């Protein structure tokens, strides 16, 4: 029995520790209350007599429960009772005994809630017990008369109970208790193999004093609860109101944005307001009335990719050069309407109808060219033998052709390099190409646009004379410059 009590105390300590770790709080009939119980029931003895017979017992108890943070609670129990123990054995004399029992005791009780109304309990303790063994006629038995033993003992008690809540204060209770000690004289016999004891099964009514109600089960009694209708399970503060950790006016259990900075306006869900639904909160939105669906920057303003002051969703000219003046549609201004925007126009104020170039300047009327359409430069007079560098002797002739090119700014030209057949053909083709490029470079360095001139190195492939004579080979070594359009 002692081992059972020790095991019970160990389990009880574990349950209490677990109880202290539970965060919710419920006010029950076992939360800081005193509970008075009156019960009655039957006893069954275990003694040296073979056949126990049920007898009656009545008991009263007072229990005090510590304030609890859960449906369960730990407390202390004081009790007292009076009843009878009876057993029968045909081999003993008398065949039947009936012992009067009176007891008073203390115990530790732990009530754990299966629900808000059902509360099993475990009690361990002991009772100082007075007993008086008699026969069925009420006469003291022989050893009792002879004072062969002490008619009192301290009995250990272990009890399982169940209380069912009827109202805020009333409960119906049932218990099964086991009592045992060192005495073997409950049946007036002391020569048994083990001490005597008994079981007591009872049912009764309990009343809890000082109970507190908590209508919304938030852990704050109704008399201190400023928010009496808090939904079940919601965490509350000391006043019984739901927590609002970010102090935005929306309770945490409703707050979909629980980390809002203090002082920032929020919507009904606790999220920062974004009136125009552009993804940028109102408190940093510098363009608060952006039409819905428009892409915005981090300040809530419509994107203006070309930075012309007209938002992309209104900009009909989305690639305007940075710095260009634009109209209300985001298009660059062309004040003189010549087709070249002011930003690029080097000649603003051009008269209407005048053709202009890419810089907005009037294109001069083309000069009618009356001269030749093809020029041939002798190789010997233009280049050193086997070289592609221009000879200064050729500059005067080239300048004549340059003058024609500049007078016809829209004209296109072809420069072909030719060689004789003497030597390696591949090298001759490369030499002719380089000579044609050298002539082109002469012109482009003096103001002719490169796009107007094409070059080609033809080597010995298009002779104009026989390559068998020196005179013929000299004629074949040439550069031909032709107007092609």
pLDDT 10s digits, 306-356:
888 888 888 888 888 888 888 888 888 888 888 888 888 889 888 888 888
The whole-number pLDDT of residue 305 equals: 85
Please identify, among 144, 174, 209, the residue that sits at the C-terminal boundary of a domain: 209
Pairing of strands 413-418, 453-459: parallel
Q: Tell me how long the chain is.
A: 485
CB 260 within 8 A of CB 251: no
Q: Which domain holds residue 383?
A: 374-483
Q: Does residue 256 form part of some domain?
A: no
Average pLDDT over residues 428-438: 92
Give the integer Cα–Cα distance in Å for 460 and 418.
Answer: 6
Confidence of residue 16 (pLDDT cuts 50, 70, 90): very low
The whole-number pLDDT of residue 461 equals: 92
Q: Which residue has better confidence, 403 or 19?
A: 403
* pLDDT at residue 481 is higher than 90: yes
Q: What is the mean pLDDT of the chain?
A: 87
Average pLDDT over residues 162-176: 93
Q: Does residue 82 form part of some domain?
A: yes
Instruction: List CB contacts of 376: < 8 A, sequence separation 6 or more.
Output: 478, 479, 480, 481
Average pLDDT over residues 388-403: 90
Q: Which residue has better confidence, 290 or 1?
A: 290
- Could you report the per-residue pLDDT of 181-229, keeping only the tens digit for each? 999 999 999 878 889 999 999 999 999 987 777 778 777 777 788 898 8
Q: Does residue 265 form part of some domain?
A: no
Give the integer Cα–Cα distance in Å for 283 and 263.
Answer: 10
CB-side neighbour CA atoms (13 Å) of 107: 33
Average pLDDT over residues 268-286: 85
Give the integer Cα–Cα distance in Å for 27 and 225.
Answer: 13
* pLDDT at residue 377 is higher than 80: yes
* pLDDT at residue 440 is higher than 60: yes
Average pLDDT over residues 149-173: 94
Query: Nearest 10 degrees: CA dihedral of 145, 146, 147, 153?
Result: -70
How many folded domains does the chain comprise? 3
**What are the tokens at 340?**
């070249």
* pLDDT at residue 175 is higher than 90: yes
Q: Are residues 415 and 334 in the same domain?
A: no
Please identify, among 165, 193, 209, the residue that sits at the C-terminal boundary of a domain: 209
Q: Are residues 87 and 202 in the same domain?
A: yes
How far, in Å, are 31, 295, 298, 303, 331 from residue 327 at the CA level?
79, 22, 26, 17, 6
Q: Are residues 354 and 314 in the same domain?
A: yes
Please identify, among 363, 386, 403, the residue that sits at the C-terminal boundary of a domain: 363
Average pLDDT over residues 359-380: 77
The whole-number pLDDT of residue 18 equals: 44
| Cβ atoms within 10 Å of 478's Cβ, excluding its own | 24
Q: Are residues 103 and 19 in the same domain?
A: yes
Beta bridge partners of 414: 454, 482
Q: Are residues 115 and 163 in the same domain?
A: yes
Average pLDDT over residues 2-26: 50
Q: Are residues 324 and 405 in the same domain?
A: no
CB 334 within 8 A of CB 345: yes
| Cβ atoms within 10 Å of 72's Cβ, excluding its own | 24
The whole-number pLDDT of residue 217 equals: 77
Q: Are residues 316 and 393 in the same domain?
A: no
* pLDDT at residue 19 is higher than 80: no
Q: Are residues 39 and 170 in the same domain?
A: yes
């Amino acid at each position: 029995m002692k081992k059972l009590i020790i095991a019970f105390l160990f389990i009880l300590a574990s349950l209490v520790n677990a109880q202290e770790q539970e965060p919710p709080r419920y006010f029950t009939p076992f939360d800081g209350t005193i509970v008075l119980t009156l019960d009655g029931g039957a006893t069954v003895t275990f003694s040296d007599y073979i056949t126990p017979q049920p007898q009656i017992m009545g008991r009263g108890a007072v229990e005090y429960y510590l304030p609890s943070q859960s449906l369960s609670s730990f407390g202390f129990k004081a009790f007292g009772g009076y009843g009878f123990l009876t057993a029968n054995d045909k081999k003993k004399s008398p065949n039947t005994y009936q012992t009067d029992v009176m007891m008073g005791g203390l115990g530790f009780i732990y009530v754990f809630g299966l629900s808000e109304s059902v509360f099993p309990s475990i009690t361990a303790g002991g009772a100082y017990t007075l007993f008086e063994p008699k026969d069925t006629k009420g006469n003291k038995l022989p050893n009792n008369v002879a004072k062969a033993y002490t008619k009192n003992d301290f009995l250990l008690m272990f009890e399982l109970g169940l209380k069912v809540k009827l109202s805020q204060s009333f409960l119906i209770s049932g218990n099964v208790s086991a009592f045992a000690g060192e005495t073997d004289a409950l049946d007036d016999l002391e020569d048994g193999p083990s001490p005597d004891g008994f079981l007591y099964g009872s049912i009764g009514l309990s009343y809890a004093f000082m109970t507190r109600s908590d209508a919304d089960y938030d852990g704050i009694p109704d008399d201190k609860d400023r928010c009496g209708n808090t939904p079940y399970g919601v965490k509350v503060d000391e006043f019984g109101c739901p927590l609002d950790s970010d102090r935005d006016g929306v309770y945490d259990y409703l707050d979909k944005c629980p980390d809002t900075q203090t002082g920032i306006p929020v919507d009904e869900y606790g999220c920062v307001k974004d009136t125009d639904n552009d993804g940028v909160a109102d408190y940093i939105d510098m363009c608060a009335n952006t039409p819905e669906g428009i892409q915005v920057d981090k300040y809530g303003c419509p994107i203006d990719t070309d930075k012309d002051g007209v938002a992309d969703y209104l900009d009909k000219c989305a690639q305007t050069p940075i710095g260009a003046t634009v109209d209300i549609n985001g298009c660059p201004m062309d004040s003189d309407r010549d087709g070249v925007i002011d930003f690029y126009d080097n000649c603003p104020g051009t008269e209407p109808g005048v053709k202009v170039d890419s810089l907005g300047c009037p294109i001069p009327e083309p000069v009618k060219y009356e001269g030749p359409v093809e020029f041939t430069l002798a190789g010997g007079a233009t280049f050193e033998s086997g070289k592609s560098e221009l000879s200064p002797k050729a500059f005067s002739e080239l300048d004549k052709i340059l003058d024609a090119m500049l007078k016809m700014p829209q004209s296109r030209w072809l420069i072909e390099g030719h060689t004789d057949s003497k030597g390696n053909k591949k090298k001759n083709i490369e030499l002719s190409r380089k000579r044609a490029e050298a002539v082109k470079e002469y012109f482009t360095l003096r103001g002719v646009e490169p796009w107007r001139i094409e070059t080609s190195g033809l080597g010995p492939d298009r002779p104009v004379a026989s390559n068998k004579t020196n005179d013929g080979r000299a004629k074949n070594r040439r550069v031909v410059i032709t107007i092609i359009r």
